[in-house]
């Protein structure tokens, strides 16, 4: 597809070892806490035009990690993702443009539209003759829109965890 040089029509699969689905939240209104979902999968079906291109991605909620065991257990529990009942987050595109990825994000059985700013990072052939493509994308959501409302007021004003969450995607795709 000429819009993304080297990205040819067909199925591309997310390479989970070279992909990161990350997030950033404010803690105590003063610090930034970063985390990621360690288990992700997905496919991109590239059509002859952008209108014919579709993305479907899945993250396993139990794979959330912030490098702090107690916080990770809390995030997997009922107050946040309830990973036992809701084992996945999903994203299904509704439109792809040269600079946006638009689609439906489902968290805890709540589906809402989101728009990611999209950057195409290029296509390369690796030393094993596999064709790979890279994309980066970011968006900011209000977690309460998906029913993630747990929080605690703090003495100096504000809350323990921000409602605003930044999501970052760094994706490497493998041509199938």
Please indicate, yes or no, if residue 4 is contained in any of the structural domains. no
Number of separate domains in the chain: 1
Report which of 113, 58, 112 is spatially closest to residue 87, judged by C-alpha positions: 58
CATH label of the domain that carries residue 21 = 2.40.128.110
Which region, left, alpha or beta, applies to residue 82 given φ > 0 means left and ψ of -120 to 50 means alpha?
left
* Cβ neighbours of 54 (radius 10 Å): 16
Please indicate, yes or no, if residue 2 is contained in any of the structural domains. no
Tens of pLDDT, residue by residue over 29-78, are 999 999 999 999 999 999 999 999 999 999 999 999 999 999 999 999 99
Q: What is the pLDDT of residue 156?
A: 85
Please classify residue 5 by burial: count the beta carbons closer than 10 Å to its beta carbon, then call 0-12 exposed, 13-18 middle and 19+ buried.
exposed
Range of the domain at 25: 10-175
pLDDT exceeds cutoff 80 at 23 = yes
- pLDDT-based confidence at residue 3 (cuts at 50, 70, 90): confident
């Amino acid at each position: 597809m000429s819009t993304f040089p080297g990205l040819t029509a067909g199925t591309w699969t997310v390479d989970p070892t070279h992909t990161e689905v990350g997030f950033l939240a404010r803690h105590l209104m003063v610090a930034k806490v970063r985390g990621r979902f360690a288990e992700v999968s997905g496919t991109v079906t590239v059509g002859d035009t952008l209108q014919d291109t579709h993305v479907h991605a899945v993250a396993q909620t139990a794979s959330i990690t912030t490098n702090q065991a107690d916080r990770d257990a809390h995030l997997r529990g009922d107050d946040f993702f309830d990973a036992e009942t809701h084992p996945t987050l999903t994203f299904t595109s509704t439109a792809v443009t040269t600079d946006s990825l638009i689609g439906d994000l489902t968290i805890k059985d709540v589906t809402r539209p989101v728009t990611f700013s999209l950057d195409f990072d290029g296509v390369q052939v690796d030393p094993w003759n596999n064709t790979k493509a890279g994309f980066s994308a970011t968006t900011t959501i209000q977690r309460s829109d998906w029913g993630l409302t747990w929080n605690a007021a703090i003495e100096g004003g504000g809350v323990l965890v921000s409602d605003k969450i930044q999501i970052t995607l760094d994706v490497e795709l493998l041509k199938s």
